[in-house]
Amino acid sequence: MMPWTFQRSTTRGGREYSAYAPPSVFGTIQIPNIDIRSLIAQGLIEEKEAVYDIRAPEASDSHESIPVGNSPPAELHNRALETPLSAQITVSPPPSIEHPTAPSPLHDGSPALNRKSLSEKAANLGARRRRAAKRHENKQEAGYSSRRNQFISKLLAQAKVCETPLNMANLGFDSSGYTAVNEPAGMRQTGRPSAADAPLTLAEYLDAGFNIFRWNGRDPHLLADVNGHVFADLVGRPSDAGYDKAVERFHARMVKESAGVVWTPKETDTHRGVSSINEGWFFSKEQRKLFWLCGGQNGLAARLRHDDDMKRIASFVSSAYAYWFPKLYENAHERIHCLLEHVKSDLRTFPTSAFTCVAFNFGPQVSTTLHRDWTDMAGDMCAVVALGNFDPTKGGHLVLWELKLLVEFPPGSLILFPSALISHANIPVGPGETRTSVVQYTPGMLCRFVENNFRTEKQIKKRSKAEYRQVLAAKANRYVKAIRRLLTLQELGVQPTP
C-alpha cells in the first residue's frame, strides 16, 4: 500500500490548522453487471422518444430500434437486481502499481455499437426531427389539395348522388355577397318556426311533411341542386376503429369538462338554442381590425383545441373539405395564410384547418332550434361533426328546412353544407342519451375585410373613389362567383344514383 503524506498548514499568525487524518487507503468500489454500452444505447432510444413527443402529430415517422447487443434494457435491469445491493458492491484496496487505462466501450470495435454508429444515430435523430418539421411546414403551406388526386377516384366510386329541387342562386345572399339574409321574405308565411321556439320532435317534423334521409354515417352522399352544383356532402367518417375511439374519447372529455359549468349569457346562444364556446379569428366592425376571440370558462376551448383526438378530427375535416370542395378549400386556404401573414402570427384553430373559427357545442344533449348561421361566409361550407351516444334513427337528425329532409346524423360523422344559406336545426335525442358537436366555420365579415386588402369600405372610399366604385360593382355578382366554386356533377364525372 502507498503511504499517504500530509503537510500541515498554518495561518498568518503561525497557528496550525486542526489536524486531519486521511484514511490509509482509498478503497475501489466495483459494481458488476453494468453494461455501459447498453445504457448509452438505451439513452439514445429515450432521447429519440422524447423528440417524438414534442413533434407535431401530423409528422409521424416509424420508430427505428437501436441495437444494444443481445440484452434488451428490461433484461439488463432485472439482472442487476438479482442479488442484494450489498452483495454486489465490494471494496478492495488499489494495487501498488498504476492502473492501466480501461478500454472504452466506444473503442472496443463492437459491430453492435461503436463511436461511429453512435454519432451517426445522433445525427439521424436531428435529421429526422428536421425532416418532420419540414413536412409539417409543407403540409400547413400546401394544405390537403396536393393529396386530392390520390383519393378522389376511390371516394367518388363509393359516393351516392342525390338530386334536389334546390336552386343555389335563389338562396338568401345579402347585398354584400359575403353573408346571408337571416329571415328571407315569406319564410314565416310558409310555416317556418321562429328561432325562439323549442326544437321540434321527429314526430312533429314528420307531421309537417318532412322526409327521413337514411344514412349510415359512413358512405358519402352528395347533394346537388337543379343545375348540378354539389352544395352539400354527407361525408361520413374514416373506416378505422381508431377514429371511432378518438371521437368517443373526445365526446367524453367535452361532457366531463363542461360538467358543473355555469354558462354566461354570451355562451348561451339564443339564436341557436345551445350552450357553446367559440374561438378563432374574427373581424370587429366597430374596431375595424382582426382579433382572436378567446373562449371563456378558464381556457376550456383552448384545452379542447389542443386535445390530440380533436386534432385528428380536425385533420379529417380539412382533408374532406379539400377533396370534395377543392375550389372552396383552395380559396379558404389562401385566405387564412394571407390573414396570418398580415397579423404576423401562426395562431390558428388547428394546424391545417382552412376555417378560421371553431365552436364547441356542449350537451349533454345538444339540439338546436331552426336557424341560419347568416353571419358566416355565404356559399362556403360549414363543417359539423356530431358526437355522443345516441340512436341516430330516433334523434339527433339534421333538419334541412328548404329540402324538407331529416338527415340521420350518427355520432362521429361529418357533414359539410352552407349553413349560412340553408335553414337547419337538430332533433333532440332520447332520454338518457348524450350528444355534443363541433362546428368549424369562417365569418363573412372577416372574408370581406381580407379580400379588400385588410381595409373597410369606408377606408377604400376615402382613399380612392374609383376603387370604391369597383368594390360596389363586385357585390352584384359575388354570389355567382361563390356558386361557381362548387363543382358540378359533370366536373366530378358522376351520375345521380337511381
Residue of 474 and 49 predicted with greater confidence: 474
Q: How far apart are CA 229 and CA 224, in angstroms?
A: 5
**Contact yes or no for 231/418 (Cβ under 8 A):** yes
> Quick one: what percent of the chain has pLDDT higher than 70?
71
Query: Looking at residues 439-447, what average pLDDT do you find?
Result: 96
Q: Residue 251 pLDDT > 80, yes or no?
A: yes
Q: Residue 113 pLDDT > 50, yes or no?
A: no
User: What pLDDT, in 10s, does the model give residues 143-155?
Assistant: 777 678 788 888 9
User: What pLDDT, in 10s, does the model give residues 450-461?
Assistant: 999 999 999 999
Q: How far apart are CA 151 and CA 149, in angstroms?
A: 6
Beta-bridge partner residues of 383: 416, 440
Cell numbers given for 72 = 434488451
Q: Residue 226 pLDDT > 90, yes or no?
A: yes
Backbone angles phi, psi at 489, to 5 degrees: -60, -35
Q: What is the pLDDT of residue 458?
A: 92
**Which of 140-154, 323-337, 364-378, 394-408 has the weakest average pLDDT?**
140-154
Q: Residue 23 pLDDT > 60, yes or no?
A: no
User: What pLDDT, in 10s, does the model give residues 273-282?
Assistant: 578 899 999 9
Q: Residue 122 pLDDT > 80, yes or no?
A: no
Q: Could you give all domains of the chain from N- to C-terminal order, each with its CATH number? A: 28-139 (no CATH), 158-492 (3.60.130.30)
Collapsed DSSP state (helix, strand, coil) of residue 269: strand
Q: What is the pLDDT of residue 81?
A: 35
Q: How far apart are CA 27 and CA 480, in angstroms?
A: 90
**Which of 40-49, 259-268, 387-396, 482-491 has the weakest average pLDDT?**
40-49
Collapsed DSSP state (helix, strand, coil) of residue 72: coil
Q: What is the pLDDT of residue 60?
A: 36
**Alpha-carbon distances of 370 from 61, 113, 189, 201, rounded to whole Å:** 46, 68, 15, 12
